[in-house]
Structure 1
Amino acid sequence: MRRTVALLGACHPGPALAVTVLAGLLAAAVGLGPGRIALVVVAVLAGQLSIGWSNDLVDLARDRAVGRTDKPLVDGRASERTVRIACGVALVATVPLSLACGLLAGLVHLVCVAAGWAYNLGVKATPWSWVPYAVAFGGLPAFVSLTAEPDQLPPLWMSLAGALLGVGAHVVNVLPDLADDAATGVRGLPHRLGAQWSPVVAAAVLVAAAVVIVVGAPVTGVVAVVALVATAGLAAVALLARGRTPFRAAIAMALVDVAMLVWAR
């Protein structure tokens, strides 16, 4: 049991679970049946597991250099061989599971997974570190929509909102690790913006995602007003607060955007 927990701890379980749950909610929102919802969820979960495990494998030397004892690979709770095998199995499984959702839908999802791997393999250390997140999050609603309706492309606003949400998620995800990343030579967009401007950019793109959803989707009345007011209030907190509060505020903004995106579907 301890080995299993350690293995799961090396897959970045928080982000992997969040993306998988979002895919399941979107699948239910577009009207897929239980079987197809399960297929979408399993395909996305497999892809996310491969991305999470590959991230810790690629970053192992960096994590050891900065003493990241919270990582199972660093402190020995999970063996490198075990994680490599698990990562390979998850990656191989992602291909047939994705294509089972439909050829076009499956190809879109495989592009999303490839974007995550590209980030892990080096894009994260460049000014273009935000691009894989934009591609992956922008492609996720398209994947789910094409699974439901293979002959109909999803509306542009949906992918745009997803891409903005992805960029915000990228900046928010990196915020707690800016110092450790900088010490090991990782200089993506958030690192170049710095601790002062990263929360500003995260707040701006997450607010933009909320506006895109309200304008492009049938989100009107009380729901739209509550969502925009909540987003604006959280943006103010992210800009004015100190410590880890901006990080938490940005996470809350992302949750509001996700709730609206699901509601809109």
Structure 2
Amino acid sequence: MPTPPAVLLLLAAQPRHALSMAVGLGTAAAATGRPLREVGLVAVTVLVGQGIIGWADDLTDRRRDERHRPDKPLVRGLDPGTVWFALTCAVLLVVPLSVAHGRRAGLAYLAIVAVSAVGDRYLHARVLSFLPWMASFALYPAFLAYGGWNGVGTTTPPTVVMTALAAALGLGVHLLSALPGLVQDHEEGERSLPMVLALRTGTPRLLLLTGVFIALVMVAIFVVANTVGLT
């Protein structure tokens, strides 16, 4: 039985990653003492933004997926026009959602979406593939620190140390998320940073090192959040 187009469209948005990011940022907002309505706004904004990034990623990788990933929605028959329509609607939605956090926070989140989508398109197969990941994650503390409600944000910037740790976490997440597709990347002749590192260390060792790195960064974020704070 064919999978309904609505289900394929949802899968193309990479819902597991979108939900994990929404829950993670919502939890971070709650940990900083934000009211429940602001926590909900953070989660919804991130969920929509991650949907945009997921759809843009599937559109970018469509031809490559046809050669290696028959399980992907666009390969299974999802119309690219449908994805473009959904992506456009999501962009029109994420702008007012972002602005609702305040001008600074809104600009930070829109920059996250733009950097993630554009960076994936142009740097995915290059050794500088880590740059958009680190840049976008480095903006998350600003998104949270400047965030407010009903278009009224704050003027307090995030700490430098929290911004640096968020950027480091982005590097770790990039390495971890790239590992399952390294075989296909190698067949395509791509030379992203994860590919270069995996060729030198081996994939199992890179997975171990990445896991340790992410764990250390998360511990550091927890310590800093409870000592220095976000702002």
**TM-score where L is the length of structure 2:** 0.86
1:199 to 2:203 alignment: no
2:14 is matched by which residue type in structure 1? H
2:17 is matched by which residue type in structure 1? P
Alpha-carbon deviations, 1:174-197, whole Å to 9, x = none?
A: 101001122223321001112615
SS in 2 for 1:217: helix
How many Å apart are 1:142 and its aligned residue? 2.1
Rounded to whole Å, the distance in 1 between the matches of 2:208 and 2:128 is 18
* Contact 1:127–1:189 (CA under 8 A) maintained in structure 2: yes
Q: Which of 188, 191, 199 is 1:187 aligned to? A: 191
1:127 to 2:112 alignment: no
Rounded to whole Å, the distance in 2 between the matches of 1:139 and 1:104 is 11
How many Å apart are 1:122 and its aligned residue? 1.4
Rounded to whole Å, the distance in 1 between the matches of 2:211 and 2:38 is 34
Match of 2:5 in 1: 3
Q: Which of 152, 159, 167 is 1:155 aligned to? A: 159
Alpha-carbon deviations, 1:140-195, whole Å to 9, x = none?
A: 13201210461111122222222111111110101010011222233210011126
Rounded to whole Å, the distance in 2 between the matches of 1:137 and 1:146 is 15
2:52 is matched by which residue type in structure 1? S
Gaps of 5+ in 1: 220-260
Match of 2:101 in 1: 101
- Runs of 4+ more than 6 Å apart: none
Rounded to whole Å, the distance in 1 between the matches of 2:115 and 2:213 is 20
* Contact 1:157–1:217 (CA under 8 A) maintained in structure 2: no
1:80 to 2:104 alignment: no
1:212 to 2:216 alignment: no
Alignment of 1:58-69 (within 5 A): 58-66=60-68, 68-69=69-70
**TM-score where L is the length of structure 1:** 0.76
CA distance change for structure 1 residues 170 and 69 in 2, over 3 Å: closer, same or farther?
same
Rounded to whole Å, the distance in 2 between the matches of 1:42 and 1:217 is 23
Rounded to whole Å, the distance in 1 between the matches of 2:14 and 2:159 is 31
CA RMSD of aligned residues (A): 2.3
Number of residue pairs the alignment of both structures matches: 220
Q: Which of 145, 169, 173 is 1:169 aligned to? A: 173
2:163 is matched by which residue type in structure 1? S
How many Å apart are 1:204 and its aligned residue? 5.2
CA distance change for structure 1 residues 211 and 22 in 2, over 3 Å: closer, same or farther?
closer
* Contact 1:141–1:159 (CA under 8 A) maintained in structure 2: yes
SS in 1 for 2:146: helix
Rounded to whole Å, the distance in 2 between the matches of 1:169 and 1:21 is 16
* Contact 2:120–2:132 (CA under 8 A) maintained in structure 1: no
* Contact 1:116–1:133 (CA under 8 A) maintained in structure 2: yes
1:178 to 2:186 alignment: no
1:35 to 2:37 alignment: yes
Gaps of 5+ in 2: none
* Contact 1:168–1:201 (CA under 8 A) maintained in structure 2: no
Alignment of 1:248-263 (within 5 A): none
Rounded to whole Å, the distance in 1 between the matches of 2:218 and 2:12 is 32
Alpha-carbon deviations, 1:68-126, whole Å to 9, x = none?
A: 122111111x2211111111111222222111110001111111111211232111111
How many Å apart are 1:24 and its aligned residue? 1.0
Rounded to whole Å, the distance in 2 between the matches of 1:91 and 1:185 is 32
